[in-house]
Amino acid sequence: MRVVAFKLPVVLKAGTLACLLLGGSFIRALFRAGEIEPPILSANALVGKAAAPSPNAFFVPFVVEDSDFYTNLGLNNLSDSRATVKVSLADRQGFEVSSRRVSIPPLGMLQINHIVSYLTNEPAMTDAGYLILEGDQDIRGWASLIDRHSLDPSLMLASSKTASQVLILSSVASARYTSRLIVLNASSSEGTVKISIRDAEGRVMASQDGLAMKANGLLHFSDIYESMGIGAGRVAGVFGPIEIEASDSIQIQAVLHVRSSDHTGGFLAGVNLQRGARDPMLPYAVDSADFRYNLGLNNPGRLPARITLRLTGPDGIERGSSQFLLPPNSLTQLNDALRLLAGEGFREGWIRAAADQDIFAWGSLIDNHTQDPALTIAESRGATKWLIPSATSAGNFKSNVAVANLDASAASVRLRARNAEGAVILSTTLDLPGSGMLLFQNILEALGMAGQFGPLEITSLNGTPLIAASQVLSQQRTGSAFQAFPWSRTAVYFI
């Protein structure tokens, strides 16, 4: 299918539906008259107009369009009214390059291919930048970094959360993997950051202080280990957490992109170093011929942390547990975690941790055929309603979904799928045993909606807390974790 590059001025008729080929699957972007304004182009950067995000704006901290990657943007409207969203592209120096307003139907979504080209209204090959999302209704955003060589998508959620100390839970440098680090200054003033890479035992391998950051600017390291002078261990492989500490009262975000020599990879978002949890939970782990599951445990504290892990099966029965001692500032990685906790033969379940101090947990679901990792950060609390920003059973991709019941009593769970326009295309209610799981391989096809895509709402009708997660997988066995988020009302960012 051919993608048309529009030149201004252009008038789009109401109801026009452009079907865009995205990474081997069909993704639809809805264009209606009056819903999209002409872009404000790069003259802003030339005259030195600084990016000026509103308070609590959402950021996508990394977008790029070059010979290796391009980025696509997704937007969700959580309100019952049509939303107008201003999407702004900013460069590393903190200047606004371009902006554009789009409209999203009530409870609907919008997916935009090649967001950099879309914002600048021309085919673009650009340096790394980032996006600012501001809406007049309750919105969410997400981005998909597409590898041009393998069509592997790496998905990340836009976030409004910032911190002065950020922890990247894991990074790696080896003959197979590289780690790209992005740090965003979300403040309107200049500052500096200190970056430290630790080994798994918590020892500092390399550290750089006083790295200058422009107001609303970006630091981009295509290979953070190489930039920090760690290259000797690459053949054998080195890994560990990365700490980023901001000075001069600036607030930052950070994200790591792990990429393999086979052109597969995934994002691992930075977390607030001061916001760990004593009972992190991961909604899905598997051990099969196709997938294996590695579990990461981070102790950011100065004292050892004692932790108990429990694995529960889909039927709600505990299948195994084990205790660990985590050294200070360390990363403990448990390979083949299900076998470690439950022994051979147990296939899938969900994991809950209990620690004597705040920790972080994350999981890596690895395809045994392609070695493609799907990275997920553990949830620290449950919710009665979750949103999968987009589930698909169209073209080359499918969405797998897991829902875990955090309570010992049974839950009544409603699954409601919508199309991009926000219309309900399916609603069904299922029983979920106490402490049990619902598992769906290709959820929309399993529910009789093959060929569809759109937001998926997961609601506990009797108030029982849940956690949920999804994975997008292609026929080529590349894919990404697509983390759900709890449905809670947030501030409106008037534009």
Residue 323 has pLDDT above 80, yes or no: yes
Mean per-residue pLDDT over the chain, rounded: 88
Q: What is the mean pLDDT of residues 38-57?
A: 68
Q: What fold does the segment set 17-157 form as a domain?
A: Hypothetical Protein Tm1070; Chain: A (2.60.290)
Cα–chain center distance at 173 = 21
Amino acid, res. 175: A
Residue 196 has pLDDT above 50, yes or no: yes
d(CA 447, CA 427): 9
pLDDT at position 421, please? 97
pLDDT at position 316, please? 97
pLDDT at position 32, please? 35
Written as six digits, the tokens of 359 are 């920790």
Q: What fold does the segment set 385-486 form as a domain?
A: Hypothetical Protein Tm1070; Chain: A (2.60.290)
What is the b/e burial string over 335-365, where b = at least 16 CB atoms within 10 angstroms of the residue's CB? Answer: eebbbebbeeebebbbbbbebebbbbbbbbb
Per-residue pLDDT tens over the stretch 223-281:
999 999 997 555 568 999 999 999 999 999 999 999 999 999 999 999 999 999 999 99
Percentage with pLDDT > 90 across the chain: 81
d(CA 104, CA 197): 41
Topology match between the domains 17-157 and 385-486: yes
Q: What fold does the segment set 165-272 form as a domain?
A: Hypothetical Protein Tm1070; Chain: A (2.60.290)
Confidence label for 344 from pLDDT (cuts 50, 70 and 90): confident
Residue 40 has pLDDT above 60, yes or no: no
Domain segments of the chain: what residues? 17-157, 165-272, 291-363, 385-486
Hey, what's the torsion of the CAs at 99, 101, 106, 109, to 10 degrees? Answer: -50
Least confident of 43-47, 122-126, 314-318, 423-427: 43-47
Per-residue pLDDT tens over the stretch 438-464:
999 999 999 999 999 999 999 999 999
d(CA 406, CA 98): 44
Written as six digits, the tokens of 23 are 């990474």
pLDDT at position 411, please? 98
Residue 3 has pLDDT above 60, yes or no: no
pLDDT at position 127, please? 78
pLDDT at position 298, please? 98
Query: How do beta strands 109-112 and 153-157 pair?
Result: unpaired
pLDDT at position 9, please? 29
